[in-house]
Amino acid sequence: MNSGGRSMYTSSFIQNELINTFGHLIQSQIVRKVRKSISYSVLVDETTDISHIEQFSLCVRYVEDQSYKIREDFLTFVPVYDFTGAGLANTVLETLSILGHDFKKMRGQEYDGAATMRGQLRGQRVNANDNFKTLYAQVKKIAAKLDIKEDIPRVCRLQTARNKVPYSTEEEYYRRAVYVPYLDDFCNSLKERFESHKETVASLQHILPGFCTKTDFYSLEAAFNFYEEDLSHKEVVQNEFMLWKEKWSQEKSENLPKTVISSLEKCDKTFFPNIYILLQLLAVLPVSVASVERSFSSLRRLKTYLRNTTSESLDPASPLFEDYGGKVYVYKDDADFVDIIHTNADLLIYGGVGMEIPIGHVDYFPNGGKRQPGCKSTLKGAFMDIFKGEGEIACNHERAVHLFTDTILNPDSCQHIAYPCSNYSDFQLGKCLSCDANTCGQMGYRAKGSGIYYLMTKPKKPFCADVGKLHVQYPSAIKKSFGSVILTLVGANGDKENITLSKKDEKLSPGAEKVLALPINDVLRPLSKVMALYLRYNGWFTKGAETFGLASVTITNSKGDYIFKSCDEDIILKDNEYQELKQTAGTC
């Protein structure tokens, strides 16, 4: 938004959009770093936002590759709707899966606040009640078949050794006398199981130089048995440990590394690969229950911000926004000049969450504004991608930022020239490629124009692409047919790009021509060769001819200069056989 003076401001909507985009980028970077690490742990805390929705604050602990730093990074907030124990666990696991984390690398979990999350019944109580009722019903059926009568022990004042708690029903008696003690025993066994992990962690510390010089491999055996799948054969690890011990036995005690990280820095992972893995495992294990609050010290500010500001929109989405006018999203009345870049306006089922309607003084629709080249978009992946940090929704959505920053980082080479056109179909058919300095638009930092503009971009950085024209002429002296004609452009580096001129059952008329707008990408700079393929249609009522043909094929850039031309003679295309097109030396 431009002020009356020379200052420039952005609306809160745009600020939130930038924050949201930066958040996706930071999250993606964290996920990539975690993938490079040998192992990681998950730290989970609970918070509630301003709308009273319970959420998990998810954090990961890992050792940063090469820098040897223990990182505890915030990943995301996750709304929680199932408050049972299974529901809470599934929420964490599903989120990690969507973000692309490998469960096989997870070596620790730490939770704080989960027990205080609201819900009428805690997960353990739900399972206890439901399971007991199911079990009791089964027992009653068995008792009936065996002609066994249910009864409650009588209470006698003269007997002091018997449990004399009164029970109102047989079901209540069996619940207290049999099922509850069973659960207690089960919980105690779980406690014993987790208590046994203390021995494993205590064993791991013997890998540190200050401990290994005073002990032998037997003290490390508990850790080896627990992490056996991560390590080599036992004898290999044992010999490696002896060499590691010998290495530090020759050093003075004051020169020995005192921490896991300092030990990692001194560990040659080529010579001590198993020791290196064990040190990594020790480094990522959560320190204590209190470490959640400690590791989230910086996150506390985020949680406070979340509680107080989430009433504002953090995503310029079409669902729930598009039909409610400019009061709920940025609009051309909000500033002297509002330019909009649409990159994710596809149908919601395909992951489209952006707006398709024009809302600015000038609206740019790169590649039609729905799906961007280089970003896959499928019905199957769309629903998972809604929460995925590196998903295709994020790819299409964030492309607007990359296209804009392209014009800042490469002001001379990247202009993003855009063309006024009534719709994208006409633009694709090459009907709107004629404009001059006054009528062409320019997307990005130096935005200019008024109305709706279309342009094409490349699938990867730098995204700027000149828009050329493909012109194909079919021979006049040839029979009509039904089928598909496909051109394959082959670049000098071997990259290929397929261009479909007709659908599989489309009518191919003699003398007809096809004109398509074409982004001049890396495949065309330089172009090595062009291959043509004809696939005849074989339907119930119509069938294509055995052969079809091409009279001429030309590709020009935006200035009209030829990139490729083939027009010497009619080319006969046989069904399902590639035919290379020969370049024409003269003019067409």
Query: 469-481 pLDDT, tens per residue?
Result: 999 999 998 999 9
Instruction: Report pLDDT for 323.
Output: 46
3-state secondary structure of 468: strand
Strand order in the sheet with 451-455: 339-341, 362-366, 451-455, 417-420, 441-442
489, pLDDT greater than 70: yes
**What's the DSSP call for residue 490?**
E
Q: Specify the amino acid at residue 566.
A: S
Which sign, positive or negative, has the C-alpha torsion 440, 376, 22, 67?
A: negative
Confidence of residue 435 (pLDDT cuts 50, 70, 90): confident
Residue 227 falls in which region: left (phi positive, over 0), alpha (psi -120 to 50) or beta: alpha
Higher pLDDT, 185 or 539: 539
Range with the largest mean pLDDT of 317-331, 367-381, 390-404, 484-498: 484-498
User: What domains, with CATH codes, occur in the chain?
Assistant: 315-455 (3.40.50.1820), 466-581 (2.60.60.20)
Confidence of residue 483 (pLDDT cuts 50, 70, 90): very high
Instruction: Report pLDDT for 91.
Output: 83
3-state secondary structure of 289: coil
Confidence of residue 576 (pLDDT cuts 50, 70, 90): very high
Instruction: Report pLDDT for 392.
Output: 52
pTM of the model: 0.46
Helical ranges in 60-218 per DSSP H: 85-99, 123-145, 170-174, 180-204, 209-212
Report how far apart, in Å, the C-alpha atoms of 493 and of each of 58, 470, 519, 526, 582 are.
Answer: 44, 21, 18, 9, 19
135, pLDDT greater than 70: yes
Residue 560 makes CB contacts below 8 A (sequence gap 6+) with none
Confidence of residue 146 (pLDDT cuts 50, 70, 90): confident
pLDDT 10s digits, 258-299: 888 889 989 998 999 999 999 988 888 875 443 333 333 334
3-state secondary structure of 557: coil
Neighbours of 378 (CB within 10 A): 10
Mean pLDDT of 58-62: 87
CA-nearest of 502, 556, 564 to 527 is: 564
Look at strands 547-550 and 571-574 and give their pairing.
Answer: antiparallel
Residue 28 falls in which region: left (phi positive, over 0), alpha (psi -120 to 50) or beta: alpha
Radius of gyration of the chain from its Cα atoms, rounded to whole angstroms: 34
545, pLDDT greater than 80: yes
Mean pLDDT of 333-350: 75
Q: C-alpha angle 344/348/354, rounded to 5°?
A: 30
CA-nearest of 167, 168, 174 to 136 is: 174
Instruction: Report pLDDT for 570.
Output: 82
452, pLDDT greater than 90: yes
Higher pLDDT, 120 or 59: 59
Instruction: Report pLDDT for 330.
Output: 59
Mean per-residue pLDDT of the chain: 77
pLDDT 10s digits, 180-224: 777 777 777 766 666 666 777 778 888 899 888 888 888 888 888
pLDDT 10s digits, 28-46: 888 888 888 888 888 887 7
Neighbours of 576 (CB within 10 A): 10
3-state secondary structure of 362: strand
Least confident of 9-23, 75-89, 454-468, 563-577: 9-23
Mean pLDDT of 517-522: 85
CA-nearest of 396, 317, 397, 386 to 357 is: 317
357, pLDDT greater than 70: yes
Burial class from Cβ neighbours inside 10 Å (0-12, 13-18, 19+) for residue 59 reads buried
Q: C-alpha angle 453/21/396, rounded to 5°?
A: 50
pLDDT 10s digits, 386-419: 444 445 557 887 888 888 888 887 877 888 899 9
Percent of residues, the chain, with pLDDT higher than 90 = 21
CA–CA distance, 127 with 134 (Å, rounded to integer): 10
CB-based contact 203:223 (threshold 8 Å): yes
Confidence of residue 555 (pLDDT cuts 50, 70, 90): very high
